[in-house]
Every structure is written in structure tokens, then in C-alpha cells.
Amino acid sequence: MAKKFDIPDIYQSPIIRKVKDHNKVLDPRKKDRDPTVLDFGPVHFYIPRHFGFCYGVENAIDIAYRTVEENPDRDIYLLSEMIHNPTVNEDLHQRGVQFLFETDGTERIPLETLDEDDIVIVPAFGTTVEMQEKLQEQGIDPYEYDTTCPFVEKVWRRGRQISEKGYSLVIHGKHRHEETRATLSHTAQHSPAVVVLNPEEAQILADILLEKRPAGDFETYFGHKCTDGFDPFEDLESFGVINQTTMLANETQEVMEILKEAASERFGDENFADTSDTLCYATNENQSATYALTEQDLDLALVVGGYNSSNTMHIAEILEHHFPTYHIRDVQELDGPRSIRHYDQWNDEVKQTENWIPDHEGPLKVAVTSGASCPDVLVDEVMLELLTFYEDTREVDEVIAPLEKADE
């Protein structure tokens, strides 16, 4: 039986939860990728099969809120944002939880000011070996309130397993992201490793290996995100690729193929570890469900989630190749029917777009989804706000009733 988590009522969703419950009943083995269509008359919402809170996020929320409730008289800290969703982090802050570091590692509260009576919650991304040691020096057990996602820990274990067979590791991830910083730190305990962001960087590394670029380019592009002494001319003779768990699966495969081809050309044989199982199940499901949305004839897509959420950005990236896509933090970014604020990940800025809703005959067809750290209730709020832009929309109960009837 799947583990049940205690999620606060403030994150419960009256609309999306019913859609998800309905899909669980009709498709318990998760084989169907077709989106659910909610027909509100002038607006049709296309809801993907998989999105929103994943196992790791629910586990982290359960632990964090239970810790706050059970320790009203103790100072409670998070190393950094527990997950990349501002609504959740702001609520924890309002409940008295303090944040020790910014997401980029900048210190907010000196660790030296903490003592053994304080509680430190490790976020879902995990943390570095060095940070674990610093906490222990302060008399704080870094494992007592540890919300590290089990699938992040799976990557760490898989990396150790293949390193014990003599392989180096390439980490496909964003080197400033908390999870990738933690993965590189844990990997450094047992294996040479280098972080590669995308296929373009993989090609740079491949060209260095094949001496199409000067050897000094390694220090320029990768010197700040590899283990000490990493030598591509030695360490890429046998390697495996592991992930930051939220990366695009097809990009991981492309990174692997580019480096495998270059290594085979240089060393004359193939000696690569099979690491295809290190991408998180939820990331795979959510990306597959997102690709299924792209097969629909839609007017636009709304992707709800934190602006520093990696998996949310990847969902938006998939969709924006097919129709206008707006990555929004929450309902507050909708400024009436003619203006929307949204995140442009390519220029790292929040933009405002006018006339974002197309004017045409027939219903507006909108894909609505979210990142794995986004509460479903925020998606509900976006949908309900969009409906206020139209007259004669159907009532929520009327639209949801067929789903509930089918589940009986």
C-alpha cells in the first residue's frame, strides 16, 4: 500500500483532487496519457494525467509541518527553501521556521549561532557532506529531520554502485541547484565527477576529449563544477551518467550519447555504465503527460509553479514549442483578461504580456498544469480566476459531477 502523507488543509484542492482521484480509479496502472477535459462552456481546461506534488515533496511537507507542530518551544530552521514553491516556503516562515541559506548557498544566519537544542530540517533536495559535517560540529544531527527525497538518495546510491566498479560519473544537472550541489558532494566521496548542463555543454566536453578544442577549455567550462583533479583524458574512458532528478529525460539521453560517441572514438572501445534508471519516476510521468498535452489542439498553456523550480521550467519548455505558454507563480500573476505576468526562463526575468488570451470563435482551450512542488489548490485558483473573464460559464459542481458519478 502506498504511504499516506499528512498534507495541510490549506493545500487541498476541490477541483484537481477530484480529477486525480477519478484517474486513479479508471487507470490504476497509469497507462493512459490522455488529458482530462473540463468543459466549462466558453473555456475548456485540459488537465494532464500527472503533475503537482510528487512523493518526495509530500514526504518533505509531512515531515516539516509535523516537526513544527510537535516542537512549539524550539527554534526550527531549514537549510534553505524546503522545496521550490514560494507559497509553501512563505507559510513555513510565517509559522516561525527560519532559513539558514539562500538557494544559491549564500548564508543568511551563521551556523555558529545554533546550538544542540535547535532543529535543522534538511530540504527535499538533500545537502552536501560538508554541510552535514558542519551541523554535527554544532551538535545537531543532520539526519533526525531529513526530508531528502528518496529518489535523490537513489541517485546517490546508484552513483556509488557504479563507482565501485571503476566508473567515473557525469552528472546531468544545473550546478548551482541545491540537489546537484548535494549530488556532486556525495559523489566526490568515491568517484571523479563532472557536471554537464545540457547537450551543448556535452558537445564542448566531447570536443575537448577529441582535441578539437584546447585542453584549457576544460578549466574554463567545467573547472568550477567537477571533483578535484578531474581529467577528461583519463576519467571519461569509463563513465556513467546520473541525473539531477528533474532534468529532461531526452536531454539526459542526448548528453550520454554525445559523450559515449566521443569516448569511443578516443579510446577505441565502449565502457559505459547503464544509468538509465536514475531519473525520478515522477519526473518521467510528468514529462510524458506533458508531451501528451502537446498532441492536443490548444490555444495556450498555463504552467503554475515557483520561478526557481527546475522541473516546472522543463514542463514549460516542452509546451512552449507547441503553443503560447505562460509560467506563472500563482493566480496573482493574472491581471485581468488582457495582461499576464510570467517567467521567461531564457532571460531569467518576469515579463508582462498584453492580449495574452486569443480572440476567436468557439471555446478557449487551455492546458493547465504545474510543477512537482506546486500545491494543486494554486492550480484551482488559476482556473477559477480565468473563468471570471467569461460570462455564462458552467458551475464547478456541474462539470465535476460526471467524474464523481463514474467513480461510484
The whole-number pLDDT of residue 1 equals 42
Distant-in-sequence, close-in-space partners of 107: CB < 8 Å, separation ≥ 6: 100, 101
Q: At what angle do helices 129-137 and 178-187 cross, to 10 degrees?
A: 90
- Across all residues in the chain, what is the average pLDDT? 93
Mean pLDDT, rounded, for 368-372: 95
Single pTM value for the model: 0.90
Residue 404 pLDDT exceeds 80: no
Q: At what angle do helices 16-26 and 396-407 cross, to 10 degrees?
A: 20
The whole-number pLDDT of residue 378 equals 96
What is the grid cell recorded at 241? Answer: 551518467
Residue 408 pLDDT exceeds 60: no
Give the burial string for 309-328 (b: 16+ CB within 10 Å, else e).
Answer: bbbbbbbbbbbbebbbbbbb
Residue 43 pLDDT exceeds 70: yes
What is the grid cell recorded at 362? Answer: 468557439
Q: At what angle do helices 199-209 and 249-267 cross, to 10 degrees?
A: 10
- The amino acid at 224: H
The whole-number pLDDT of residue 405 equals 65
The whole-number pLDDT of residue 271 equals 81
CA distance 405 to 289: 24
Active site residues: 179
Distant-in-sequence, close-in-space partners of 92: CB < 8 Å, separation ≥ 6: 64, 65, 68, 78, 82
In order of their start, the domains of the chain are: 9-54+281-407 (3.40.1010.20), 55-137 (3.40.50.11270), 150-267 (3.40.1010.20)
The whole-number pLDDT of residue 197 equals 97
Grid cell 577549455 in the structure block, residue: 217
- Residue 61 CA from chain centroid, whole number: 15
